[in-house]
Chains A and B, each alone.
Chain A
Amino acid sequence: KAGVTQTPRYLIKTRGQQVTLSCSPISGHRSVSWYQQTPGQGLQFLFEYFSETQRNKGNFPGRFSGRQFSNSRSEMNVSTLELGDSALYLCASSFIAGTGELFFGEGSRLTVL
């Protein structure tokens, strides 16, 4: 069974640009969550999607957005990048929305210069 796949794995952007990250969940999983990890911080919840609907959103500015497609694949977008957006972005899929065991991808490491 294929795991959670995130692309791209690494990317470098400059301030003001925008970025789109992609996540393909485990087959059969309809819940996809996104988390941000910055140095010294725990995983910070960004948002969760289930069946193409955003269930929950964490405490992040509106520059952070996401969506989910009918095949459960998800994308997240960050517009007007700031230096502080440099982080590891982890996607996780789950069979159960909200509270189920999470299966994580390897992450997309974003560097903003």
Chain B
Amino acid sequence: ILNVEQSPQSLHVQEGDSTNFTCSFPSSNFYALHWYRWETAKSPEALFVMTLNGDEKKKGRISATLNTKEGYSYLYIKGSQPEDSATYLCAFSRPGGGADGLTFGKGTHLIIQP
């Protein structure tokens, strides 16, 4: 059984502030780390897929880093806006997907306060 842990579970951030949260995953037999954003009443949407240790990806005000040796990834949001309010999910996969498919964490629920 693979464990993917996300922290914090929930987060309230003032509009305009920057924030970050963590995803921890098994460091052995790693293939890829995914980040998804899930807004209420919508479907989860992919933000990043990262495969290489040291990878850093950016999409607008959102960026992510990956450390496969120690098994963690950070997601950063710069200058938070109300539309950033969502649950952010990370998911881990092994080569070929394995018996677990993508293993998801329980998510970080982010609320941006105007």
Binding site for B on A (CB under 8 A): 3-4, 33, 35, 40-45, 47-48, 55-59, 90, 92, 97-107
Contacts and interface: CB of A to CB of B under 8 A. Distances in A.
Q: Does more than half of chain A's interface fall in helix, strand or loop, or is it mixed?
A: loop
Given A42-B89, A98-B93, A33 B102 contact: yes
Contacts of A102: 34, 36, 44, 46, 102
A28 to B, nearest CB: 16
B96 interface: yes
A90 B99 contact: no
B104 A56 contact: no
Given A41-B106, A42-B107, A90-B43, A56 B93 contact: no
Contact of B89 (A40, A43, A55): A43
Interface in B82-110: 89, 91, 93, 95-107
Contacts of B72: none
A43 B88 CA distance: 12
B7 to A, nearest CB: 13
A4 B43 contact: yes
B97 A98 contact: yes
Contacts of B11: none
A32 to B, nearest CB: 11
Nearest to B1: A59
Nearest to B100: A45
Given A42-B104, A42-B105, 10 more contacts: A41-B106, A42-B4, A43-B104, A44-B104, A45-B104, A99-B32, A99-B93, A99-B95, A101-B34, A107-B43
